[in-house]
Chains A and B, each alone.
Chain A
Amino acid sequence: MPSQPPLPHLLTPYISTPPRESLTAVSSVVGATGNWLILRFLYAALTDAGLRGVEGERKRKVVLGLDLARLTERREFAFVDGLSELFCGPTASAPSRAPSQHLASGPTPRTTLPTRPHPGITSLRQPPPPSAGSDGPPQITKDAGQVKRLRLSGNGAAALDALERDITAVIKQLKASGLGEDEESEVSLIVDQPDLLLAATGPSKGIGATEMAEWIIGLQQAATATVATISADSPLIHNASASAHHIATPLETEHAAFAIGLAHRAEMVMQLRNLETGAARDVSGVLRVSKGGAWGQRDSAGQETWEEKEVLYFVQRDGSVSVFGRGE
């Protein structure tokens, strides 16, 4: 099997340099998940962070999580764990260790901070190549003690504010530790599936699409560039529309409002979906990159180096990804 570059060429213009203060929305569905794309975002940010000298294979391990511990020590990467204890309530829970990792700072020290209030968390270390599979996780868990674990408590905006404070505190630490230069580091923030917060709380807890949107805006302000992933399965988007045959549940309406709002505020929307023609053996799904609602509103509008595009991708068993156009 030909080995793939860690960052597929077709993808490079889209994920390598998210503009300042931008929001990128990545949508996924059950059969076409976005972890691989998030890993590429991470990779792009972290390799910019001065790891250029390292040879290819090594670089990829960075993406795959093996070196994340080291980067964490260097304060270039921080991981905020939204899986382990998010719903544990106010009382302390068993000392479970978090699958966590993270870090990254950049050439203009750019730091990546994936927040993953979602079970997908483990994905950061999930796709190790077979040879690395056995020693990856233990290495990572060594640092578990340093990882901030999110915990949702209380109701409504106050609960979200608490989470935001936790996350911005970590961002500030990263900014402050930027290689000793005078200026602050840039910090990229990856928020993985913030929609879980919305789905798992609901109106009865006073968290709706509006509160979530404000929460994302708050996080955006703390970070230099933000990437947020969201689920876009048909029931979550279309059930809320007036043409649906049954009455939408609050979960569906709020989710649709949040997802659509996010797309409107994003500069770039990357959608992952299944092939319409059914499963194929050499295609995992379709990636569509399109302009979001906020595209072109900044001063530098018109200088974007990317154009809208739809491509196919294929995730191989070793976790490498090839991206290609239809028919190529």
Chain B
Amino acid sequence: MSFRKRNIGLSTGADRTPAATSASQPQPERAVSSPTATPGVRPSPDDGRPTTSTGSPSLDNLLAGHGGLPIGKTLLIEENGTTDFAGALLRYYSAEGVVQDQKVHVIGMPQQWGRTLPGLIGPAEAADEKSDKRKGERMKIAWRYERLGEFGAGVAGARAPAVTLGDSSPSSMDDSLAKPAFCHAFDLTKRLTHPSIGNITYIPIVPTNEPLLVSIQKKLQAIIASSPPHITHRIVIPSFLNPTLYPPEVGQPENVLPFLHSLRALASSPTSRVTAMMTIPLSLFPRSSGLVRWMEILSDGVIELCPFPHSSDALSTSGAATSHEEPPQGMLKTHKLPVLHERGGGSDQNIGQDWAFTLSRRKFEIKPFSLPPADGDQEAQSQARSDKMPKKEDLEF
């Protein structure tokens, strides 16, 4: 899609400059400058392929420099334990789709699920709030922030400076300000009210005379084939294979794997624009099993969430660098990233990093994880903090 590629050069250029000065300006401008672009879809800064937002800026940044989930890719989110952090990610993803007027297809959940989508804070407001908050954070924990800012741009950077947006943290900050049209902020304590929320399709799990997943797949295919080609689709599969939702025979490889294969075929079909995100409970389907490994092979991206057990609250509290920062709630591992691993993998600096995630009312944040100095050891703590700056520079330059 060459027309879009040309657009990006223009619109980012146009966006970025004003973005530095005023946060609310860029959004209308963008709409005017690229009327043909589909809402919520923008070219990847890495290679220009169209991407769409996951609804969570932090997760977007993690995806191998594309700044979003590339169209046609599927993301598998695995979660250990009984928590539902992955479900929150799915809700952001769905809410973003609703707000962008994309078509959201939810599998196996009743309509109530759609009513629990997080409320829209709105792009502009979010940006304001974010920049305010960021400024505040920056004063107090500059070293921490600097690293964070880099990870958006640095993903693309470091390896191939030629194609990056720029590797300095100021530009990545501009990006996050220019982004709202692409990605919105949501509030988990509110409920989403949006005119197009009624457009969500729910594909229930009901017994049919053909295998369940086959009928689901056919329905998906029919819906997508019958909608106009410019529509972007999001397929949401919460808690896939969870026995409280799915009958037990669905968990057999001969049912699951053809379904995932077909889903992938559907997503990568050049005639439609589809992304998919699904979550799976690892406690029931461990990664060490062949089935889950095959599911990973058949997914474009694989992310594992390992929430901290409740008893380690003490640890996680101390994990916050300052009292103003939310303590991490768990670890996040990236096993596979879309496109990057299809290419051969491994060259992204996000790979192998230890990430921690924090889910708060307004965002799902992913940050590098580091164990803090022991509590009470003020001397070591301040030393550690001053150590961080030079250390980071050594690494980066």
Contacts and interface: CB of A to CB of B under 8 A. Distances in A.
Interface of A: 1, 30-33, 35-36, 83-89, 93-94, 96-97, 99, 119-123, 126-128, 130, 133-135, 137-138, 141, 193, 196, 199-202, 204-205, 231, 233-236, 239, 248-252, 255, 274, 278-285, 313-319, 321
Contacts of A196: 257, 261, 294, 298
B343 A249 contact: no
Contacts of B158: 281
B344 A1 contact: no
Given A84-B265, A130-B46, A134-B5, A31 B342 contact: no
A51 B76 CA distance: 41
Contacts of B221: 93-94
B289 A239 contact: yes
A134 B1 contact: yes
A255 B339 CA distance: 26
Interface in B57-83: 65, 72
Given A133-B49, A235-B287, A36 B344 contact: yes
Interface centre among A126, A199, A315 (most CB of B within 10 A): A199
Does more than half of chain A's interface fall in helix, strand or loop, or is it mixed? loop
Contacts of B265: 83-86, 96, 119
A235 B290 contact: yes
A18 B159 CA distance: 34
A87 B261 contact: yes
Interface of B: 1-2, 4-5, 46-49, 65, 72, 156, 158-160, 162-163, 214, 221-222, 225, 252-254, 257-259, 261-262, 264-266, 268-272, 287-294, 296-298, 302, 335-336, 339, 341-347, 349, 351-353
B267 to A, nearest CB: 9
Report, nearest first, the 4 A-B pairs whose CB atoms are least far apart. A279-B352, A284-B346, A315-B344, A36-B344
B293 A32 contact: no
A200 B261 contact: yes
B291 A251 contact: yes
A119 B344 contact: no
Given A119-B264, A200-B254, A314 B346 contact: yes
Contacts of B336: 30-31
Contacts of B1: 134
Contacts of B4: 134
A269 to B, nearest CB: 19
B346 A285 contact: yes
Interface centre among B262, B291, B297, B341 (most CB of A within 10 A): B297
Given A87-B261, A249-B291, A255-B290, A30 B254 contact: no
B339 A126 contact: yes
B89 to A, nearest CB: 20
A89 B214 contact: yes
A202 B297 contact: no
B360 to A, nearest CB: 28
B342 A123 contact: yes
B380 to A, nearest CB: 26
A86 B264 CA distance: 11
B344 to A, nearest CB: 3
Given A30-B335, A31-B346, A196-B294, 10 more contacts: A30-B297, A30-B341, A33-B342, A86-B262, A87-B258, A87-B262, A122-B268, A127-B342, A193-B297, A250-B253
Contact of B347 (A83, A87, A317): A317
Contacts of B302: 30
A94 B268 contact: no
B346 A317 contact: no
B296 A134 contact: no
A236 B342 contact: no
A133 B254 contact: no
A119 B293 contact: no
Nearest to A204: B254
Contacts of A134: 1-2, 4-5, 48
A15 to B, nearest CB: 15
A130 B264 contact: no
A96 to B, nearest CB: 4
A317 B257 contact: no
26 contacts: A30-B336, A31-B341, A35-B343, A85-B265, A86-B262, A96-B266, A97-B271, A119-B268, A122-B72, A133-B47, A133-B48, A134-B48, A196-B298, A199-B294, A202-B253, A248-B290, A251-B294, A278-B352, A280-B352, A285-B344, A314-B346, A316-B160, A317-B159, A317-B347, A318-B160, A321-B344
